[in-house]
Amino acid sequence: MVERVTGVVLSRASVWRLLASRLGWSLQRPERRAVQRDESEIARAHKWPRIKKGR
């Protein structure tokens, strides 16, 4: 895309250096979580062992 827009050929490393240094970009990776994850159910499930121990 850089070549198409500007006519300048850059390597991947050069593009990354420009993005990181001049634009302040950082490497971001998505968290590995199921889409169906229900935080409230998970919180409730973690309470069960304490309730079960009881006496």
3-state secondary structure of 24: coil
pLDDT digits (tens, 9 = 90+) for 7-36: 999 999 998 898 898 888 888 888 787 878
Q: What is the pTM of this model?
A: 0.42
What confidence score (pLDDT) does residue 52 get?
A: 61
